[in-house]
Structure 1
Amino acid sequence: MYLITNRQLVQSDEEYFQKIEAAVKYGICRIILREKNVSDDVLLKYAKTITKIIENTNCKLIINSNEFVYKKVKPYGIHLPFEMFLGYEKKKDEIVGVSIHSSEEAIKADKLGATYILASNIYETKCKEGLKGKGVKFIEYIKKHVSCKVIALGGIKEDNMKEVYNSGADGVAMMSAFME
């Protein structure tokens, strides 16, 4: 399970880090630090605090889209939007995840060396209101055409998680379920 952070879903930094700590205790294995509306300095502070929270656990930190913070913190990996990934020079053995929204993007990201793809949105979600979910058939199709890991995102909750895993997903990512 992956946690995608969103500071805007909580009232304070204190609550933010409490939610992350609770998710780590729950057993998540990856945290994608994805804060779109903060400065590099604030993001760097968040990354360092999360690094302390996950110390001595099996959980790993992934920085979303910010190469400056990625290079400063040297976390487990970096996560990129598809278009940004197309221009990224992946180093050997580097962990690079890619957000995809179509089977074509999934196949291309895999061919270009993505470590994993984050496939969305599987179900309808508040984060993308009005956008119909692609369903688990999307995961099934992608799994037949890529060799990298496929992580499902979008509207995934405890009551539909089994269906997602049964479709072949290697993991699930959630934001609201952990941050709210």
Structure 2
Amino acid sequence: MIMADYRLYLVTEGYDYDEQTFFSIIEEACRAGVTLVQLREKKRTTQAVYERAKKLKVLTDRYQIPLIIDDRVDICLAVDAAGVHIGDDELPVSVVRKLVGSDKLVGVSAKTVARALEAERAGADYLGTGAIFPTQTKQTPVTPVATLQAIVESVAIPVVAIGGIKEDNLDTFKGSHIAGVAVVSEIMKAENVSLKVQALRQKLANVLEGEQ
């Protein structure tokens, strides 16, 4: 089983960047201290996602950071990524676990305690809960912090908060005992990626202090 550090989990978004810019942002983030990277591609063809995932795997391996593939079990297996993250409308968690085996990470989106418990029983390694704050990246209802807290208290596996998370709202998670936060635009659209990642890491060290 891969031992993952969930503290600062980068979820990618293309934002119409050219290929060089897209990869340079991710590499800068890896160099600066993100602890996990998820490739999320909703609109590209299977071939295009595969090619991008293959290239990204080389990059994340260079920095010894696990690569997670959003939704696509086939792409995860094809590029030998560290794991896959699935939502509510994907394959059942138990089926995904059988397909990827015991050595890969399986992350599951969970907006309710019932879904969280179900996912944990079916073999999930960690949960992603949100959107905690409004976000333009993905149209989804906001999940109350109280629900996030209830999920954390209900399961034994790590819980990562996601959705609209920025440096200036991290204090929301003090005392929550989450394993980390997943960030999209705050890093992918940062004017200075390295400084932003360093600032997030510094703030998270305080927010998550004593909770790992």
The TM-score, its normalising length taken from structure 2, stands at: 0.77
The match for 2:153 is: 144
Q: Is the 8 A contact 2:86 2:108 kept in 1?
A: yes
Where 1:6 maps in the other structure, the secondary structure is coil
The match for 2:79 is: 73
Q: Is the 8 A contact 2:27 2:59 kept in 1?
A: yes
2:11 to 4, 10, 18: 4
In the TM superposition, what is the alpha-carbon distance from 1:155 to its structure 2 partner? 1.2
The structure with more strand, counted as a fraction of residues: 1
The match for 2:31 is: 25
Q: Is the 8 A contact 1:115 1:148 kept in 2?
A: yes
2:53 to 47, 59, 64: 47
The match for 2:43 is: 37
Separation in 2 of the partners of 1:89 and 1:71?
11
1:125 partnered with 2:135: yes
In the TM superposition, what is the alpha-carbon distance from 1:125 to its structure 2 partner? 1.7
2:122 to 101, 107, 112: 112
* Number of aligned residue pairs: 178
Structure 1's unaligned 5+ residue stretches are none
Q: Which amino acid is 2:112 matched to? A: S
Q: Is the 8 A contact 1:78 1:97 kept in 2?
A: yes
Separation in 1 of the partners of 2:17 and 2:96?
37
In the TM superposition, what is the alpha-carbon distance from 1:85 to its structure 2 partner? 4.2
2:67 to 61, 64, 89: 61
Structure 2's unaligned 5+ residue stretches are 1-7, 190-212
Q: Which amino acid is 1:172 matched to? A: V
Deviation above 4 Å: which 4+ runs of structure 1?
none
The match for 1:135 is: 144
The match for 1:95 is: 105
